[in-house]
Amino acid sequence: MRGKQAPRRKITSDPKYGSPVVAKFINYVMKKGKKSVARKVVYDALDSVEEKAKKPAMEVFHQALTNVSPMLEVKSKRVGGANYQIPMQVRADRRQQLAFRWLIDAARGKKGKPMAEKLATEFLAAAENQGDAVKKKQDVQRMAEANRAFAHFAR
């Protein structure tokens, strides 16, 4: 790696919930720099979640994130001419990043509804350990478990 590593930027809290996690999630939803659109989508989704679940939206949001966050993932490593899928523990920041990405991809994969509605249903499903994002997490965890024999290659 050349040069210095870029410094980590501090993300300010979002205006409605005062949570840096929600602010970061809004940044992940955002496309082509349209933050106001992304903010409206996420806030509408969280309002819808609060209506449907009859629980605080942040509680459901955090539950969904913890249910989607993976503990293990596989990384490819070349050892003696062969590629091995090596199970590795996931760092906390990457865990959050993957959870965001999988939730958004699962919502975008559905058709026929506005994005806010799709996100809300995905949050509710993930909070109950169901849905496409949780399925993705389970697939990744299963893959890591299946390759546990190669864990000794990790350094």
CATH at residue 79: 1.10.455.10
Closest CA to 104 of 86, 76, 131, 141: 131
If pLDDT is split at 50, 70 and 90, which confidence band does 150 have? confident
Q: pTM for the complete prediction?
A: 0.90
Q: Is residue 122 part of a domain?
A: yes
Amino acid in the structure at residue 135: K
C-alpha distances (whole Å) from 17 to each of 43, 90, 125 are: 9, 27, 22
| Residue range of the domain that includes 60 | 20-153
Residue 3 has pLDDT above 90, yes or no: yes
Cross-strand partners of 72: 89
Q: Is residue 65 part of a domain?
A: yes
State which H helix or E strand residue 69 sits in.
none
Q: Is residue 9 part of a domain?
A: no
